[in-house]
Structures are given as C-alpha cells and as structure tokens.
Amino acid sequence: MKITSAEFVMSNSNVAKCPNEPLPEYAFIGRSNVGKSSLINMLMDQKHLAKTSGRPGKTQLINHFKINKNWFLVDLPGYGYARVSKKDKKVFQKYIREYFQKRKQLVCGFVLVDIRHEPQSVDMEFMEWLGTNAIPFAIVFTKADKLKPGAIDTYVSNYLKKLLEGVWEEAPPYFITSSSKHMGKDGVLGYIDSINKEFFSNQ
C-alpha cells in the first residue's frame, strides 16, 4: 500500500463523537513509551503526524487520522506506567474500553510490544480482554533494531509460546518492526490493505 495522504481529523475522549463515516478503522495501542508515535510516523512516511515524546503518557485522547481518504488510523492512549494521576488514568482507560467495545467501524487493533522486554502481564491481560470480547487484533513488536536477528527469533518464539499457555488456541498475527530502520512497514500496511479490500468488497 502506498500512502498518498494522511490528515489529522480530530481528538476526543467520547466514543460517540468519533467520526461517523462508514470507513474501516485500525487502532494502535500499547504500554506507555512502547514507540507508538514513532511507528505511526514511520508507517505514514511523516515525521510529525503523531506527536512523539520522551515522557510516557503523552497521548491521552482518541486521535483519528484519515489515510488515503478511505480508512482511519486511530492513535489511542497508552496503558501501563504513564506518569499521569490515577484519576486521569482511570478515565482514559474507561474510554479505551468503550472504544473497543462500541466502535462499529473498528476492524482491527494493533497491540504494540517492546521486543526488548519480557512478556508483561499488562499486555497479556489486555490481549486476553480483546480475545474475550471477540475484537480482532495483531501484535506489533517494536524496536527490533535493538536486538540481533537470532535474538529476535528467539524472543518472538518465546513470547508466542507464553501467549499460548493462556486462553489462546492459536497466536494472533504479528509483525516485527523498527521505526528507525523502517522495518516491518510493508508487512503492516499490506495487512491493512488486505483487510480493506475485503471490507470494501462486502459493501
């Protein structure tokens, strides 16, 4: 897929006020500081589409970007250890859940995981919640440039094995990415493109 346009549409914390166009949506979410904004900018070939920050928890709203005028990329607040108050965290975690449960345009979520870290319970629990609620998603391993190729293979294999020890019968689709090396871009965009084609063929 070639990105020909990427435009910011809106930010809000009310799912009912999200764009009402009948276009497919792809939501990106992960622990704070997982490299979400850098990944989005890499995928879209733009340096500043999504705001990057050295401070975890920068994204605290549902951010909609219209891509190629026919689908939406949704940048969601991170979960985990963002330096925000417990009250604020509780509020935006509530509307994250509402977004995934109520947003009919959502066709796939992308759960970002830092490839350098051991499986985190907060990620596992969130993926289990998505599975329990029958919400399609894929895993995006970020920062792959920080590991050697052999270590990447071992990590991903162990991660998926850990995942399958839980409630999963089979592992979800996954992608290995590096924003700095532009790794995994074609895989993620190709996956979105394939879902889009099926979506529009059924209209």
Q: State the pLDDT confidence band at 57, using cuts at 50, 70 and 90.
A: very low
SS (H, E, C) 17-86: HCCCCCCCEEEEEEECCCCHHHHHHHHHCCCCCCCCCCCCCCCCCEEEEEECCCEEEEECCCECCCCCCH
Q: Domain containing 138: what range?
A: 6-201
**Mean pLDDT lowest among 42-46, 114-118, 156-160, 167-171:** 167-171
61 within a domain of the structure (yes/no): yes
113 within a domain of the structure (yes/no): yes
131 within a domain of the structure (yes/no): yes
Chain segment 123-152, per-residue pLDDT in tens: 888 898 898 889 999 999 999 999 998 899
What's residue 114's pLDDT? 94
Three-state SS for 101?
helix
Q: How many domains does the chain have?
A: 1
Task: Report, as an integer, the average pLDDT of 78-89.
Answer: 56
16 within a domain of the structure (yes/no): yes
1 within a domain of the structure (yes/no): no
Give the domain CATH number at 98: 3.40.50.300
Gap between the Cα atoms of 55 and 83, Å rounded: 8
Q: Please, what is the average pLDDT of the chain? A: 86
